[in-house]
Chain A
């Protein structure tokens, strides 16, 4: 990476001991009339922690991640990310907060008609001006391409920098979406079923990559997973989502920390 924007400075702002993410009795509902999908959820995550969310399909894992990602409003309770409450922020401040949260989804959510380098550098949009963003679409500078290449190198596909996005395989697409999140240099990385659409071997590779990157760069990682054995192997804490709320599950083996 050519530069990781003021990570230490940002974490300092939140206070050394304060948790990076804090949910207190949070409820989330799709609309005012509907029943809440999540009710009275409480969870604390500190910088550098690696957490697996497990639970059946439809239990609310995605809703929880989208809420933490500030994409869904909190109905009741309090959500703070890096000491800030998203619902209390102006649009500009909310954008600034979002640059610190990386989001990786199962469907990768890449823009097929843009080349790989553009998709990767989309992670920098939060710190770019609109003019910068427009200029990069028309012509790119060497240092920007170097930054994109470094991020792709971290996920092992530096050679795909100038490829067409639509020509990538599923595993490659997932790596590009991870690279996009790395460009953000987030304090908190959210991954929604990052390996659900991949074959077991690729899934393990991607998950190993994700957790090792998070540890190496001091990012907290929250990932939802369908495979309990992967959760055991790669994560520090396992949180079960069921019945609209979350419970911390004791780990069967102690591992991960040393990985």
Chain B
């Protein structure tokens, strides 16, 4: 116990010497430029793709399905593959982030566009508007708030992913952080974590402003493209990349590893489910506390800052700290996932609560109900569907994160992958990557059918039942 406290104490006080802070600036600029450039490209790729799916353009759905391969590969693994292909530095990080977030955002954007209320969409189609016009004048503005929320959320995630990408030599603040942690330079690690927290808080303010000035985002595109150009890969060793890929084929596992496989898969699954479920339960309560509609301003402020702190620190960083303090194993992994996910859920649930239609809440408030009752009887029931969607998406995400956490000693299939990688058993590495991908894709499919069922049950109450959808009538 005293050892744990001593270890925790060694993270404080943070190193705040001006000379050190100044030395961190280039790394932060590199990270910001990397994330900004990557997310500009990812948005420019994913939004048209999602629109194409909602417009029922043939092939678009197939393309998004194909892209889900990149979502199935954990970002750390993706970054390792990119470092092999593009060399150390921000170029590898840029490619990994663009691939990963194009895949993730096109899927979520497409799903969100599907939630647009049918009435206005059909009214537009009835005027003779083309599918693109229906998308521009109906689907996009009708789902704008949700699209924006997810986009801002994805940007934040990318910033944290860039830490993970940096951990394998993708450049920026991540490379610095891993260096500090590996060198037991915990005070400087705390400084870097604090600066990350501040950066994300600043971006949060910026997102709040941009939400009300959506056209300003269009003006940011040239700057984003410039940042992407600045971070472009400097070399592309195709021959070398193919050589390593060749070493990975055909994938194979020795008998003892094969016998151990079910345990590894279960351990990874347990980590993801335990962490996500625990985080969802306390996240719902914290979401009420962080909702501007439900709670008083002081509570909102306090809850949001705590949630911000929890989610700003990436799972991997939580994992490193917890593994250092409490030892290795899947419990440490579940805690690392849970702490970070709690911060995410609290914020997402609060945003959802703040964006549900106000009228039913006003009606209930007019009966003399308290704020809490309005929350329970009007706001919460209306937000159950988006909350359930967030939960399923996060569970998918955490399953992938659970394999990444394995790399830092949290057990499961990720740890087996990492150990094989360290020993250059490339065929085993490929086998574990494939098992991971199959596991994630299978879960993805399960979650998708659950969400579809959710949409069906939710939609029946407002639509005209089994009449054909307007898109089918187009």
Chain A residues at the B interface, C-beta cutoff of 8 Å: 30-31, 34, 62, 66, 69-73, 91, 95-103, 105, 107, 109-114, 118, 122-123, 125-128, 130, 133-134, 137-138, 177, 180-181, 184
Contacts and interface: CB of A to CB of B under 8 A. Distances in A.
B473 A122 contact: no
Contacts of A180: 123, 127
B468 interface: yes
Given A91-B474, A126-B128, A130-B130, A31 B466 contact: yes
B381 interface: no
A73 B468 CA distance: 9
B134 to A, nearest CB: 8
A111 B127 contact: no
B115 to A, nearest CB: 14
B240 to A, nearest CB: 44
B120 interface: yes
Contacts of A184: 127-128
Of the candidates A96, A109, A111, the one having the most CB atoms from chain B within 10 angstroms of its own CB is A111
B136 A134 contact: yes
Q: Chain B at the A interface: mostly helix, strand, loop or mixed?
A: helix
A133 B136 contact: yes
Interface of B: 119-120, 122-130, 132-134, 136-138, 141-142, 144-145, 215, 218, 464-468, 470, 473-474
Contacts of A31: 466, 468
A125 B132 CA distance: 10
Given A111-B141, A113-B141, A98 B473 contact: no
Contacts of B136: 130, 133-134, 137
B126 A103 contact: yes
B125 to A, nearest CB: 7
Contacts, number: 101
Nearest to B118: A109
A114 B141 contact: yes
B132 to A, nearest CB: 5
Given A130-B130, A137-B136, A72 B473 contact: yes
The 4 closest A-B pairs by CB, nearest first: A126-B128, A98-B128, A125-B129, A99-B128
A123 B124 CA distance: 8
B120 A109 contact: yes
Given A72-B468, A111-B120, A123 B127 contact: yes
Contacts of A125: 124, 127-130, 133-134, 137
Contacts of B473: 70-73
Given A69-B126, A126-B128, 17 more contacts: A30-B465, A30-B466, A62-B464, A71-B473, A72-B468, A73-B473, A99-B128, A100-B128, A103-B126, A107-B119, A109-B120, A111-B120, A111-B124, A112-B142, A122-B124, A122-B137, A125-B129
A138 B142 CA distance: 17
B145 A113 contact: yes
B127 A126 contact: yes
A195 B125 CA distance: 22
